[in-house]
Amino acid sequence: MASWTRAYPPTLFQDRTEAGRKLGGELLAMKLKDAVVLAIPAGGVPVAAEVAKKLNAPLDLVIARKIQFPWTTEAGFGAVVSDGTVYLGRHADGLSPEVVQAQTEKATEQVQHRAQQFRQRRKELDLSGRTVILVDDGLASGSTMLAAVQSIRNSSPQQVIVAVPTASGSAVSLLRPHVDGLVSLYVHPNHLPFAVASSYENWYDLSDEEVMGYLQESE
């Protein structure tokens, strides 16, 4: 008897550009008014660039980074944003205050360095009263995006919408109470392991130069 296996989760997108085009089409159908698109660098930038093109909306950044566990770079217990916003998830409860502080300070330094590099002379957009669409290439735990949402709320937007090509079910559950809308083209079942990269055929870490190139193209 013949046997077969299917890769799961399925490869959904060729690359971040294709994912951004599909996501942009979904958002365009929502007929959002006075929208501005904010990308979480680095992976969210090419996705957001395509969304901004589709919506004919300005593109900017919200610079956030997960707070990593000291023993791995693959997982974290919270996130920080360049404006000083800090979100600590439930896994922080199992760590000593010294470890939490040290890892938070490390993430903050990295965020500030990235902000200085990407911002340069780029002026931040006025978000007051606008529809803010926060974009990343996917949501694993959702903690980085939640920190970004909390940061953006301080700018008094009319509404905050999270938009991603792919997400874990747990991340969607975490974020939904904190946003006015959440769009994910694919939500992964909670009972199966999930990695954002598995949804993309062509996946790699973007360089700072590539990020700057997308931003300059959008000006």
Q: What 3 state SS string does 4-57 have?
A: CCCCCCCCCECCHHHHHHHHHHHHHCCCCCCEEEEECCCCHHHHHHHHHHHHCC
Range of the domain at 203: 16-62+125-218
The domain tally of the chain equals: 1
Region 200-213: mean pLDDT is: 90
Q: Per the domain annotation, does 166 fall within a domain? A: yes
Mean pLDDT score, 136-153: 95
H or E element at residue 122: none
113: Cβ contacts below 8 Å, ≥ 6 apart? none
pLDDT of 7 > 50? The answer is: no
Which percentage of the chain shows pLDDT scores above 70? 95
What is the pLDDT confidence band of residue 193, given thresholds at 50, 70 and 90? Answer: confident
DSSP 139: B
> Which of 89-98, 104-113, 201-210 bottoms out in mean pLDDT, i.e. has the lowest?
89-98
Q: Is residue 47 part of a domain?
A: yes
Is residue 119 situated within a structural domain? no
Using an 8 Å Cβ cutoff, are 183 and 26 in contact? yes
Q: What is the pTM of this model?
A: 0.90
- Whether the pLDDT of residue 139 is over 90: the answer is yes
Residue 9 has a pLDDT of: 56
Percent of the chain, pLDDT > 90?
60
Torsion, CA 86, CA 75, CA 198, CA 186, rounded to 10: -40
pLDDT at 58: 95
Look at residue 206 and tell me whether its pLDDT is greater than 70: yes
Q: Is the pLDDT of residue 180 over 80?
A: yes
Cβ-Cβ contacts under 8 Å for 112 (sequence gap 6 or more): 82
CATH number for the domain harbouring residue 53: 3.40.50.2020
Highest mean pLDDT among 51-55, 68-72, 74-78: 51-55
- Say if CB 63 and CB 122 are below 8 A apart: no
Task: Supply the mean pLDDT for the chain.
Answer: 88
* Residues ≥6 apart with Cβ < 8 Å to 51: 20, 23, 24, 27, 37, 57, 133, 135, 163
Structural domain contains residue 8? no
Q: Region 116-143: what's the mean pLDDT? A: 89
Task: Look at residue 6 in the predicted model and tell me its pLDDT.
Answer: 41
What is the rounded average pLDDT of the residues 120-145? 91
pLDDT band for position 2 (50/70/90)? Answer: very low
Q: Report pLDDT for 97.
A: 86
Q: For 133-167, b where at least 16 C-beta lie within 10 A, e where not — what string?
A: bbbbbbbbbbbbbbbbbbbbeebebebbbbbbbbb
**pLDDT band at residue 1 under the 50/70/90 scheme:** very low
Q: How far apart are CA 214 and CA 51, in angstroms?
A: 12
* Position 199 in a domain: yes
Phi/psi zone of residue 134: left (φ > 0), alpha (ψ -120 to 50 degrees), beta? Answer: beta
